[in-house]
Structure 1
Amino acid sequence: MDLTTVTEVVRRPSGRPGADWRAGDAWLAGGTWLFSVEQPELRRLIDLTALPWEPLVPGDTGLGIGATCTIQELYTAALPDEWSAGSLFPRSCEAFLSSFKVWSAATVGGNICMSLPAGPMITLTVALEARYELWAADGSVRTVDALDFVTGDHQNILAPGEILRRIDIPAHALRKRTAHRRFSLTRLGRSTVFLIGTQTPGTSDLLLTVTAGTTRPVRMRFDALPDARTLRQSIEAVPAGVWFDDPNGTPGHRRHLTLHFAEEIRRELMAGGPA
């Protein structure tokens, strides 16, 4: 879609692009959402793809993902064998409501900052205990838990001019065993629910992340694998207003699916199923 109100595109922004932020600006990365609907309030686009942000930076402490890393780059990432949770990367990319052609443009950071309940990059990074590095317009930097970034449907903690620079996934989370479940109304449709369970090797703990069915990510931590009743009670304790309601599923339907799939994940990890 043509954005007829935009009068300027900054192709080569400064290394700290937020310093020049003004009302009517928008960050441009993949643009897959930005150009899909009218944006009458916009006057200027700031192209982040010109910045030298490495897409993927593996290291001893974990994996750094640049906000402009494309979905295609994440999907094809060659990760160390000991990072067993890396199997979640392609599964999360495949949860996009888009064709593989869009993957070459859409970015990890863009999906997170859209902050939609069904954002699969949100699911992935929250489940793997990531932290986000945020750059403010005044030059300050803050780091937040991925769990705390999205606050509701299409809502997050970003201030005007603030930008998501980097996602850091710790090595200990990448070494975990995993189990996941996803449901959509159609094979390539938007997620109605997307759950990921992770477990530290050699322990019986459980970290369960619930997304898509809720307006914000919900994460439940158990020091030992809970029994079915305890797990069910934890899910039932999620406030009614947190369950999402749209054409892909009612809150009651999403809650039912979450209870069902969470128990499947619990049993799979208890039985030592596939990582």
Structure 2
Amino acid sequence: MDLNTITAVAHPQTRAQLPVWTPGDAWLAGGTWLFSEPQVRLTRLIDLTDLKWPALAITDRHLSIAATCTISQLDALTCPTDWLAAPLISQCCRAFLASFKIWKTATVGGNLCMALPAGPMISLTAALDGVCTIWKAGGGEQTISVAEFVTGNQSNRLSSGDLLRQVDIPLAALKRRSAFRQISLASGGRSAALLIGSLDSADVLKLTVTASTVRPIQLSLPKPPDANALRTAIAEKITDDLYHSDIHGKPFWRKHMTLRLAEEIRAELLDATPP
């Protein structure tokens, strides 16, 4: 869709060249949502592609994912064999249920900043203990976990003019055993519940609940729980007001599926038999 209110497009190549943020500005990365509907309040786009951030970088401590990394670039990553959680990358990329055109354009950072409950990059990076680096509008940086970055349906921690630079995933999280569950009301529909569980070397079960809730919810259970303990922990952590409601699923059903998928994950990771 043409954005006929845009009068200027900035192309900064360094952080120092980022223009002063003014009302009517918008960051442009993939633009798959930005160009999908009228944006009558916008007058200038700030194109991030000329910053040429490396899409992916592996250090001795982290996998760093640039905010401008596309879904196709992330999915194409060749992972070391000891990254037991590597299948989550492909599983979450495919939770988009999007065309190859979207895959080649949509960005990881855009999915996080949109903060939709069903955002699969939120699911992936939150479950793997991802930490956001934010370039503050007034200078300096802020780091915050992905689970805390997303605060609700289309709500996040960014202040006006702030820019999400990257998400760092600890290598230790990528080496945990993991399990993935996702469900939609219809084939090809938006995720109504997407849960990821992981088990570390100390047998701590970590469960990340997304899509069924308005924001990511995480539970950490040091003592491997039985089915009743897990159900109780979820009920205490996720109150009824946190379950999302829209045409893709009502809260009661999302709650039911959250409990069901969580038990499947518990059983898979702990080699138990679901009741």
- Equivalenced residue count is 272
The runs of 4+ residues in structure 1 deviating greater than 6 Å are none
Q: Does residue 91 in structure 1 map to residue 114 in structure 2?
A: no
Query: Tell me, which stretches of 5 or more residues in structure 2 are unaligned?
Result: none
Which amino acid letter does the alignment assign opposite residue 219 of structure 2?
Answer: M
| Contact preservation (8 Å) 1:18, 1:161 | no
| Superposition map of 1:2-41 within 5 A | 2-16=2-16, 18-41=18-41
TM-aligned CA deviation for residue 2 of structure 1: 1.0
TM-aligned CA deviation for residue 256 of structure 1: 0.0
TM-aligned CA deviation for residue 116 of structure 1: 0.2
| CA distance, structure 2, for counterparts of residue 235 and residue 248 of structure 1 | 22
Match of 2:167 in 1: 167
| CA distance, structure 1, for counterparts of residue 166 and residue 134 of structure 2 | 7
Secondary structure at 2:80's aligned position in 1?
A: coil
TM-aligned CA deviation for residue 225 of structure 1: 1.4
Classify 1:55/1:272 alpha carbon distance in 2 versus 1 (closer, same or farther; 3 Å).
Answer: farther
Which amino acid letter does the alignment assign opposite residue 169 of structure 2?
Answer: I
Query: Tell me, which stretches of 5 or more residues in structure 1 are unaligned?
Result: none
| Contact preservation (8 Å) 2:177, 2:198 | yes
| CA distance, structure 1, for counterparts of residue 225 and residue 260 of structure 2 | 15
Which amino acid letter does the alignment assign opposite residue 210 of structure 1?
Answer: V
Q: Does residue 45 in structure 1 map to residue 45 in structure 2?
A: yes
| CA distance, structure 1, for counterparts of residue 170 and residue 17 of structure 2 | 27
Choose 92-101 or 152-161, whichever is displaced more: 92-101
Q: Does residue 270 in structure 1 map to residue 270 in structure 2?
A: yes
Secondary structure at 1:247's aligned position in 2?
A: coil
The two structures have a TM-score, normalised by structure 1, of 0.96
Which amino acid letter does the alignment assign opposite residue 25 of structure 1?
Answer: D
| Contact preservation (8 Å) 2:28, 2:46 | yes
Instruction: Work out the percentage of aligned pairs sharing the same amino acid.
Output: 47
| CA distance, structure 2, for counterparts of residue 133 and residue 165 of structure 1 | 6
Match of 2:103 in 1: 103
Classify 1:126/1:17 alpha carbon distance in 2 versus 1 (closer, same or farther; 3 Å).
Answer: farther
| Superposition map of 1:1-275 within 5 A | 1-16=1-16, 18-201=18-201, 203-237=202-236, 238-271=238-271
Classify 1:32/1:266 alpha carbon distance in 2 versus 1 (closer, same or farther; 3 Å).
Answer: same
The two structures have a TM-score, normalised by structure 2, of 0.96
CA deviation string 1:180-205 (max 9, x = no partner): 1000122322100000001113x321
TM-aligned CA deviation for residue 20 of structure 1: 1.7
| CA distance, structure 1, for counterparts of residue 158 and residue 131 of structure 2 | 14
Secondary structure at 1:166's aligned position in 2?
A: strand
TM-aligned CA deviation for residue 75 of structure 1: 0.5
| Contact preservation (8 Å) 1:210, 1:219 | yes
Which amino acid letter does the alignment assign opposite residue 46 of structure 1?
Answer: I
TM-aligned CA deviation for residue 224 of structure 1: 2.1
| Contact preservation (8 Å) 2:12, 2:47 | yes
- The root-mean-square deviation of aligned C-alpha atoms, in Å, is 1.4
| Contact preservation (8 Å) 2:12, 2:18 | no
Which amino acid letter does the alignment assign opposite residue 123 of structure 1?
Answer: S
